Amino acid sequence: MRGRALGITLGAALVALLALVPLIGLHVPWVLPGTVDVVNATGTLEVLALCFIFAGVALGYDVLFGYTGLLSLGPVTFFGTGVYVFDIALSRWGWPLASALGLTVAVTLVLALVLGAISLRVGGIAFAMVTLAFAQAFYYLVEDNPHNLTGGDTGLALSSTRLPALLSGAVSNTRSLYWLALVYLVLAAAVVRVVTTSATGHVLVAVRENEQRVEVLGLRPFGFKLAAFTLSSLVAAGGGVVYILLIGTAVPSAVASTTLTLSILVMVVLGGPGSAWGPVAGAFAYVYLQQYLLKVAAEPSFASLPAVARVPLSQPQFLLGAIFVLFVLFVPGGFAGAVARARARLASRRPAAPPPRGDA
């Protein structure tokens, strides 16, 4: 109980600190990912907002992957649904903000229930392949630009005419969008925390460990798996809505590609599946490194380095992949696993408590 209270206190303190970041004009060279080495610069705040968005998406995905044990290769289906349905409702149809949000939730909910009911009829690799097939179908659908709704490869820009002033313009309102992304992460973390620590969460873990035993106890694993699938989908769609508000343009290669699916999976594996904070740490590390290595690749001073160092430094995706491989090999269980092992070692080194003395 004391450890849980300490975790909540530290989490609240961290959120408060992150909320103050847009007000801090500190110069920090060689650490920040933006082109300007200032904490509250537009580029830095945008990268941190992306970290918040994908941390929330990773938390939702971990309900399915880490807690329920289902390897889905289709989270981009619902992330992209959040992006495109919200963008189309605002930009193509001119709907008000509240109506666009309501439509996005309704479409995501129906799509998650239908696709989940179909996909969950199989398990293991077959489930992963079915979700991948749906993701690929969604990608080609938005790329084909049906009825001129999605913009295809050229993208669909978000119209700001129906947005409040605080959310219109990613450059002029970066602070507001940064705080919105932080609120999204906090809400996603709260919802996931409530679900995974409830009786439903315990059943999801039991399904992951031994589905047949859950059936013997008289419970229906299918219903719980569908609930996890739907929750994960709704959280991903919410991330898609905040993403399009931040970036302002929907492009299939950025919001609906298989590469994004693999990135979300990598985030969860880096942080540690099935942990309260691991996916958040993994998403921060992945997104931050991805953006920071782009800055490193563009560093002019590296042009004078020998080819053996210059070529890898100029390929940020290669460096990111190498870091991930090394991390998986030498840090099994991700950040959360490393912390758990460190705590176990510290506990083993503590002297044992003396036995209680008998009454004299």
- Rounded average pLDDT over 249-264: 93
Q: Would you say residue 226 has pLDDT above 70?
A: yes
Closest by Cα among 285, 295, 359, 357 to 327: 285
Which pLDDT score is estimated for 360? Answer: 44
- Above 70 in pLDDT, residue 356? no
Return the higher-pLDDT residue of 167 and 72: 72
What digits encode the pLDDT tens for the residues 259-301?
A: 999 999 999 999 999 998 999 999 999 999 988 888 777 766 6
Segment 331-356 shows an average pLDDT of: 82
Domain count, the chain: 1
DSSP string, 193-242: HHHHTSHHHHHHHHHHH-HHHHHHTT--HHHHHHHHHHHHHHHHHHHHHH
Q: Is the per-residue pLDDT at 133 higher than 80?
A: yes
The residue with greater pLDDT, 355 or 324, is 324
Highest mean pLDDT among 13-27, 102-116, 159-173, 283-297: 102-116
| pLDDT above 90 for 228 | yes
**Is residue 13 predicted with pLDDT exceeding 50?**
yes
Asked if residue 12 belongs to a domain, the reply is no
pLDDT at 353: 60
How many residues belong to the chain? Answer: 360
Q: Would residue 314 count as lying in a domain?
A: yes
Question: 233 and 113 in contact (C-beta within 8 Å)?
Answer: no
Mean local confidence (pLDDT), 37-51: 91
Calculate mean pLDDT across residues 244-259.
93
pLDDT computed for residue 166 by the predictor: 82
Mean pLDDT of 332-352: 84
Q: Is the pLDDT of residue 359 over 60?
A: no
In a domain, 227, yes or no: yes
Please report whether residue 55 resides in a domain: yes
pLDDT in tens, 60-74: 999 999 999 999 999
Question: Could you give the C-alpha distances from 188 to 125, 161, 192, 193, in angstroms and in order?
Answer: 28, 28, 6, 8
Q: What is the mean pLDDT of the chain?
A: 89
Q: Element (H or E) spanning 249, and its range?
A: strand 249-250
In the predicted structure, residue 154 carries a pLDDT above the cut 70: yes
pLDDT given for residue 332 in this prediction: 86
Mean pLDDT of 344-350: 82
pLDDT by residue (tens digit) across 301-333? 666 777 777 677 677 777 888 888 888 888 888
Q: Does residue 221 come out as left (phi exceeding 0), alpha (psi in the -120 to 50 range) or beta? A: alpha
**Residue 5's pLDDT is what?**
73
**pLDDT beyond 80 at 18:** yes
**Any domain includes 35:** no
Whether 36 is in a domain gets the answer no
Region 236-240 average pLDDT: 97
Is residue 17 situated within a structural domain? no
pLDDT of 3 reads 63
CATH of the domain at 237: 1.10.3470
Mean pLDDT value across residues 320-348:
87
Q: How confident is the model at residue 203 (pLDDT cuts 50, 70, 90)?
A: very high
pLDDT of residue 354: 67
Of residues 161 and 223, more confidently modeled:
223
Q: What is the mean pLDDT of residues 50-64?
A: 97
Determine the structural domain holding residue 242 and report its residue range.
41-349
Q: How many CA atoms lie within 13 A of 249 on its CB side?
A: 8
Residue 134: what pLDDT? 97
Q: Output the six-digit token pair for 5.
A: 């209270």
Q: Which of 187, 177, 272 is nearest to 15 (CA)?
A: 187
pLDDT value for 357: 66
How many whole angstroms separate alpha carbon 204 and alpha carbon 206?
5
